[in-house]
Amino acid sequence: MVKTAEGHASGIAYLLDRLRRDEIVGTLAGDDTILVVARTEEAAQALEDEFAGLLVEGRALRRAGVSVRSEERRVGEERWPERGYRRAPA
């Protein structure tokens, strides 16, 4: 389960689905909660650890004044280049 700000769950679930990660079977979103279904218990634990790490990184970046959106894009390009992450034109 992933908890989000009110009204943001469907957008985040959509983005998770668009990642097309093999370990994620699918998502189900409410108003502020997402159920992420993983293929295995091991994959579920790895996703939970990854999501927790991203949350900590995001908080640290905000405190440092870094744009979280640009950092997320950079991480996506590094971790999953085959998924077609592209920088938006300036």
pLDDT confidence tier of residue 90, bands split at 50, 70 and 90: very low
pTM over 0.85: no
Q: Count of CB atoms within 10 A of residue 67's CB? A: 11
Beta-bridge partner residues of 38: 24
The more confidently predicted of residues 87 and 3 is 3
